[in-house]
């Protein structure tokens, strides 16, 4: 009998993996709900996660005694409980260990820059204006990026790409990253406080850890340069969303572009969603930064390779 592997992710990625590996493993593709995933896991030996939509709980792992590896086609794994896995010595592998692959994956950085430009040029509200049958450009004054300052919080892979994009647009770039001894080319190191006080655009690219949880809080947002634009495509937990909403409501923050929200995918009670329904200066996308079929296939292949190695297949 072929070993069973549970895959949670997009259909096209499942089909691609099934073509490659169906001769050696039985790949199961449940709906991305806790109930369906938990049921599929009970007889599986491995789990490949390419969605992060389902919170994988200790109870789910306790009822899946044969699981020997969790392989994530993502850099984040904060949706996975570890207590049961740690007791059993089960590894949780992520793309953070695959720098050779990650350095050439740009979709998350591209979305970050796209959100920055969409906020600076008010693109979504201009589109809605045209759809309504109107034509008045004076309602949509844009911010010229050339000559402005971009502050990057977290100057790793994605932050490095953001610095390149900003340089190409003629912007000055400053960065804050206590873990990087050398910052990307043409990035000037500043304190986090200086970055918020001086930058016209701020883009956050930080992994969520105990050290980074709500690192961007009220004290910083209250010091943000008036009219600045804030971008977060990393993890919602690094940002105090109440503080962010406060500076949006006060008008101190010019705009924001977010690809992540607390509680996602259940965002029905999100105050930021409620704000975005009635205000044009907040753009929210559904955590789609890394969702490009070209990139997803590559990362799923890499994650699957780790499982095959673990199973000696």
Task: State the catalytic residue, choosing from 235, 241, 252, 277.
Answer: 235
- In three-state form (DSSP H/G/I as H, E/B as E, the rest C), the secondary structure along the chain is CCCEEEEECCHHHHHHHHHHHCCCCEEECCCCCHHHHHHHHCCCCEEEECCCCCCECHHHHHCCCCCCEEEECCCCCCCECCHHHHHHCCEEECHHHCHHHHCCCCHHHHHHHHHHHHHHCCHHHHHHHHHCCCCCHHHCCCCCCCCCEEEEECCCHHHHHHHHHHHHCCCEEEEECCCCCCCCCCEEECCHHHHHHHCCEEEECCCCCCCCCCCECHHHHCCCCCCCEEEECCCHHHECHHHHHHHHHHCCCCEEEECCCCCCCCCCCCHHHHHHHHCCCEEECCCCCCCCHHHHHHHHHHHHHHHHHHCCC
Point out the catalytic residue in the list 157, 207, 287, 302: 287
Residue 138 among the catalytic residues: no
Give catalytic status of residue 264 as yes or no: yes
- Please tell me which residue in 264, 277, 279, 302 is annotated as part of the active site: 264
Specify whether 235 is catalytic: yes
Which are the catalytic amino acids? 235, 264, 287
């Amino acid at each position: 009998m072929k070993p069973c592997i549970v895959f949670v992710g997009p259909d096209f990625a499942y089909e691609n993996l099934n073509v490659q590996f169906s001769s050696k493993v039985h790949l199961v593709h449940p709906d991305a709900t806790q109930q369906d995933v938990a049921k599929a896991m009970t007889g599986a030996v491995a789990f490949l996660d390419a969605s992060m939509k389902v919170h994988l709980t200790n109870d789910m792992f306790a009822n899946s005694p044969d699981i020997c590896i969790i392989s994530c086609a993502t850099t984040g794994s904060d949706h996975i409980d570890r207590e049961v896995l740690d007791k059993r010595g089960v590894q949780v592998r992520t793309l953070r260990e695959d720098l050779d692959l990650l350095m050439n994956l740009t979709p998350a950085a591209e979305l970050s820059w796209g959100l920055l430009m969409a906020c600076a040029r008010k693109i979504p509200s201009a589109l809605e204006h045209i759809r309504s049958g109107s034509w008045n450009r004076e309602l949509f004054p844009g911010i010229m990026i050339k000559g402005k300052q971009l502050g990057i919080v977290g100057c790793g892979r994605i932050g490095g790409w953001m610095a390149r994009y900003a340089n190409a647009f003629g912007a000055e770039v400053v960065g804050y990253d206590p873990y990087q001894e050398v910052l990307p080319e043409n990035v000037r190191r500043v304190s986090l406080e200086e970055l918020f006080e001086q930058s016209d655009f701020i883009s956050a690219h930080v992994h969520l850890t105990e050290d980074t949880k709500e690192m961007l809080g009220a004290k910083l947002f209250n010091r943000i340069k008036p009219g600045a634009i804030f971008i977060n495509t990393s993890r919602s937990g690094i940002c105090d969303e109440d503080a962010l909403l406060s500076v949006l409501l006060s008008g101190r923050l010019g705009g924001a572009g977010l690809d992540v929200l607390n509680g996602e995918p259940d965002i029905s009670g999100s105050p930021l969603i409620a704000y975005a329904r009635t205000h044009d200066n907040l753009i929210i996308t559904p955590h789609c930064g890394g969702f490009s079929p070209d990139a997803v296939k590559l990362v799923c292949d890499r994650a699957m390779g780790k499982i095959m190695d673990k199973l000696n297949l």
